[in-house]
Amino acid sequence: MKVTSLELENFRNIASARLIPCGGVNVIFGENAQGKTNLLESLWLCSGGKSFRGAREGQMVRFGEKLFRIGLTFEDRQREQRLIYQSSGGSRKLLLNGVPLKSGSELSGEFLSVVFSPADLSIVQEGPAARRAFLDNAISQIKPVYAKYLLQYNSVLEQRGALLREISLRGNRAADTLDIWDQQLARMGTAISIFRQDYLRKLSEVSEKVYGGFSGFQEHFSLQYESSVFGPEDALEIYSDELIEKYRNALRESLENDVRMRSTGKGIHRDDMDMRVNGLSARSYGSQGQQRSCAIALKIGEAMLLKGVTGEDPVILLDDVMSELDQGRQDYLLNRIKNFQVFITCCDIAGALRMEQGRVFHVEKGIVEEIPLERIRSGSL
């Protein structure tokens, strides 16, 4: 999958811009707050996702204007496609190859992309919730039924929590229906655990190779699923009554504590993903460069798995990735990611000097200009 052209009108601080990227690495550089990330954000919107910056669409319209418009032309393995994305005052108009779409969710699977932003460092640096969110979002892209199970699980979890609070107040008289909720949690929680273990096993294999490339194979990166219910001895491969019963037993064993805390203490909503560099916790002992490398390796690994399932090469969007990375790791991003179209934003033009091939774009005050790589290398900017 390749972007062949991107046109923007009144998007953020960009009044008008047209970008013709290459099929390999595209570096977008400029000082802070000039509009670099806006280009990546517009591409991400076209994949059907919400802003990775947490913004509402009304905040993306250029000041003083009424609407923004994105025009995206891209190629998949079958054909060239054209997407028009227009938003005004909370009203959105989407056209794919001239055919109106009812919602942004219909873009899912049409234009595939994976994004890394500085906020994704939370996957490594913060608590388990950030890592679970990463896993849930990544698996949902390739297994839509997973998102359905997760939604159902959270609904039952909420019902069980309400019942626990009632038991805490009224005693066992309110516990009659608890086993019903436990049975549902055990069934869905077991299925979700198997999905996560399977995905993480595959992600570990590809992201370890990416991280090895980052470090010149001087450091070893590993991933492991940490379940609050199942142990290393449990083969989370086949959905079985034995696994479901183990999940139910874990809920029974923690009931007394659950009633006291008025919440469910065990289950997939408490699980984690352990990341290690050279056998040590990346969160506790990793340097800033190692932590950034871990997060980027996960994202590139996500793109590789998405390609394996869909047969399409997702576009990789890397926002502000160069900081905290040494020259060897920067070289990997600029020259060693093969078979993917990549967009990289950075503040320093020095990164572009290490590019073997690709295209370079400068952004200043919302104005986008392509600069020939030869001109950068000659120092004639």
Reported as a single tens digit per residue, the pLDDT across 260-301 is 999 999 999 999 999 999 999 999 999 999 999 999 999 999
**Confidence (pLDDT) at 141:** 87
Mean pLDDT of the chain: 92
Binning pLDDT at 50, 70 and 90, where does residue 54 land? confident
* Stretch 48-52: mean pLDDT: 89
The percentage of residues in the chain with a pLDDT greater than 90, rounded to a whole number, is 79
Question: Alpha helix locations (H) across 171-278?
Answer: 178-214, 241-253, 255-261
Examine the pLDDT at 109 and tell me if it is beyond 70.
Answer: yes
CA distance 4 to 21: 6
Quick one: tokens of 112?
């595939």
Binning pLDDT at 50, 70 and 90, where does residue 230 land? very high
Examine the pLDDT at 89 and tell me if it is beyond 80.
Answer: no
CA distance 192 to 267: 10
Binning pLDDT at 50, 70 and 90, where does residue 306 land? very high
Examine the pLDDT at 219 and tell me if it is beyond 70.
Answer: yes
Binning pLDDT at 50, 70 and 90, where does residue 344 land? very high
**Confidence (pLDDT) at 173:** 61
Binning pLDDT at 50, 70 and 90, where does residue 78 land? confident
Per residue in 241-267, pLDDT tens? 999 999 999 999 999 999 999 999 999
* Stretch 370-374: mean pLDDT: 89
**Confidence (pLDDT) at 72:** 98
Examine the pLDDT at 68 and tell me if it is beyond 80.
Answer: yes
Go through 48-82 and write b for each residue having 16 or more CB atoms within 10 A of its CB, e for each that does not.
bbeebbeeebeebbbeeeebbbbbbebebeeeebe
Examine the pLDDT at 193 and tell me if it is beyond 70.
Answer: yes
CA distance 357 to 269: 45
Binning pLDDT at 50, 70 and 90, where does residue 380 land? low
- The residue among 295, 126, 121 whose CA lies nearest residue 203 is 295
Binning pLDDT at 50, 70 and 90, where does residue 381 land? low
Examine the pLDDT at 20 and tell me if it is beyond 90.
Answer: yes
Structural contact between residues 16 and 9, judged by C-beta atoms closer than 8 angstroms: yes
The percentage of residues in the chain with a pLDDT greater than 70, rounded to a whole number, is 98
CA distance 131 to 353: 35
Task: Select the more confidently predicted residue: 350 or 160.
Answer: 160
**Confidence (pLDDT) at 102:** 86
**Confidence (pLDDT) at 174:** 59
Beta strands in the chain (DSSP E): 2-11, 14-19, 25-29, 68-75, 80-88, 91-96, 99-101, 113-116, 221-226, 272-277, 280-281, 315-318, 342-346, 359-364, 367-371
